[in-house]
């Protein structure tokens, strides 16, 4: 038997091996990320060459990816506009309004909904939602057509960027409301009770105690939702009828497409430099989501230091 001091100085062989293996796993993760970036850059470079002849993008890579970046940001922003208030409402409902007993069951149902595959949302969006909403679009255009974003002519299929925004919102709703609920549940109980004891109504208590505490958590939930919506592929690819146009019109059949859906639609038939152009577009998407996600993480870290690690 070795004495305890000995073990700390010279670890046993089993310890050394196990430690080495688990560090190795960490190294694998680091190298996977480096590899992802390296392979994508390597495969993207030929398309970035200005003299390259790319069939699908005769005017160079920037004019190909520019409208797609616009479409990606536009559809994700629409989704966020719809999903943020609803997810805050759902989070508050589960954390502060619903009876205790059904609240946890509801939370569980929402977790289940977050696991539904995106291709199912896409199928639902095009088969059920788009035909259902098309008459509403017609009505909106007829009555509010003087507002530029609602200008006609209305798409006959309902497969517009607005539909995509709504479907994306429905998709990110479960994850965003789950995060919002978590944040609301962490409100210090004493703050809530103090507010109620001073005679505040339930909403005033939420205004004074819950929302200020949750602000940064909600912001990072919104950022994570945005990250999901930016990278979402199949629902957009199935629902949207794309035209690679840069327009803010919500209801016409001329819609801006997104990076992810363009890759999914074009990749199976692409060959030669087109493949490289699509991979380069994927790299741009990767960069955008990384910026959004690191922004979300920065908010969380700042919050932690402010709260003193809880």
Partner 1 sequence: MTTVRGRNTTLTRGTVIALFVSGMAISYFVAAISRGDGEFVPLGIFALGMVVFGLLVVPASWFVEGRRKAINRTMTGLVFSAFGFALIPLVSLVWTVVTLGLARFDAQFFGSSMRNVVGAGGGALHAVIGTLEITLMAALISIPIGLLTSVYLVEYGRGRFSNWVTTMVDVMTGIPSIVAGLFAFAMFSLFFGPGVRMGIAGAVALSVLMIPVVVRSSEEMLRLVPNELREASLALGVPKWLTILRVVIPTAIGGLVTGIMIAIARVIGETAPLLIAVGFTQSMNYNPFGERMMTLPVFVYNSYSSQGTDAQAYIDRAWAGALTLIVIVMVLNLGARIVSRVFRPVGNH
Confirm or reject binding of residue 240 to partner 1 (CB under 8 A): no
Query: In the window 102-131, what residues touch partner 1 (CB under 8 A)?
Result: 108, 111-113, 115-124, 126-129
Q: What's the closest the beta carbon of residue 186 comes to partner 1, in angstroms? A: 16
Angle of the 161-185 helix axis to the 100-114 helix axis, nearest 10: 140
- For residues 72 and 158, the answer to whether their CB atoms sit within 8 Å is no
Going by C-beta distance under 8 Å and a sequence separation of 6 or more, which residues neighbour residue 196? 202, 205
Q: What is the residue whose two structure tokens read 């925004």?
A: 165
Handedness of CA 125, 131, 132, 137 (dihedral sign): positive
Is the CB of 151 or the CB of 293 nearer to partner 1? 293
Q: Are 269 and 247 in contact (CB under 8 A)?
A: no
User: x/- contact string, 248-267, with partner 1 (CB under 8 A)?
Assistant: ------------x--xx--x
- The binding track of 53-92 with respect to partner 1, each residue x by CB under 8 A or -, is --------------------------------xxxxxx-x
The piece of 59-67, 184-192, 243-251, 271-279 that touches partner 1 (CB under 8 A) is 271-279
Instruction: With CB under 8 A as the rule, give the number of residues binding partner 1.
Output: 90
Q: Residue 255: phi, psi to the nearest 5?
A: -115, 145
Tally the C-alpha atoms within 13 A of residue 91's C-alpha that lie toward its C-beta: 29
**Pick from 231, 251, 255, 277: which binds partner 1 (CB under 8 A)?**
231
Give least dist CB 281 to partner 1, A.
9
State which residue, 22 or 51, has the beta carbon closest to partner 1. Answer: 22
Per-residue binding string, partner 1, 290-309, x by CB under 8 A, is: x-xxx--x------------
3-state DSSP call for residue 77? helix
Task: From residue 191, give the alpha-carbon distance in Å to each of 72, 195, 240, 259, 298.
Answer: 41, 6, 47, 45, 26
Nearer to partner 1, 94 or 164 (CB): 94
* Closer to partner 1 by Cβ: residue 65 or 247: 65
Name the strand (E) or helix (H) holding 86: helix 61-92
Q: Select 209 or 247, whichever has its Cβ closest to partner 1.
A: 209
Q: Which of residues 159-218 bind partner 1 (CB under 8 A)?
A: 170, 173-174, 177, 201-204, 206
């Amino acid at each position: 038997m070795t004495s305890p001091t000995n073990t700390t100085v010279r670890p046993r062989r089993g310890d050394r091996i196990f430690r080495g293996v688990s560090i190795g796993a960490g190294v694998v993760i680091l190298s996977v990320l480096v590899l992802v970036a390296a392979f994508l850059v390597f495969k993207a470079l030929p398309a970035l060459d200005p003299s390259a002849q790319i069939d699908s993008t005769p005017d160079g890579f920037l004019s190909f990816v520019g409208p797609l970046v616009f479409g990606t940001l536009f559809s994700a922003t629409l989704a966020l506009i719809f999903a943020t208030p609803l997810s805050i409402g759902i989070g508050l409902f589960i954390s502060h309004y619903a009876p205790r007993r059904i609240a946890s069951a509801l939370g569980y149902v929402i977790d289940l909904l977050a696991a539904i595959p995106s291709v199912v949302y896409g199928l639902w969006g095009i088969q059920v939602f788009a035909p259902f909403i098309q008459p509403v679009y017609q009505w909106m255009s007829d009555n509010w057509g003087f507002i530029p974003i609602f200008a006609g002519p209305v798409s006959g299929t309902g497969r517009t960027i607005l539909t995509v925004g709504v479907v994306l919102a429905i998709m990110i709703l479960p994850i965003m409301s789950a995060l919002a609920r978590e944040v609301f549940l962490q409100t210090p109980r004493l703050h809530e009770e103090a507010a109620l004891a001073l005679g505040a109504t339930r909403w005033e208590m939420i205004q004074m105690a819950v929302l200020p505490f949750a602000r940064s958590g909600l912001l990072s939930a919104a950022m994570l939702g945005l990250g999901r919506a930016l990278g979402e592929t199949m629902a957009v690819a199935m629902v949207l009828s794309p035209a690679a146009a840069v327009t803010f019109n919500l209801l016409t059949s001329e819609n801006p497409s997104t990076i992810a859906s363009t890759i999914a639609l074009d990749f199976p038939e692409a060959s030669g430099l087109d493949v490289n152009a699509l991979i380069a577009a994927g790299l741009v998407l990767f960069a955008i989501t990384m910026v959004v996600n690191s922004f979300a993480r920065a908010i969380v870290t700042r919050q932690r230091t402010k709260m003193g690690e809880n």
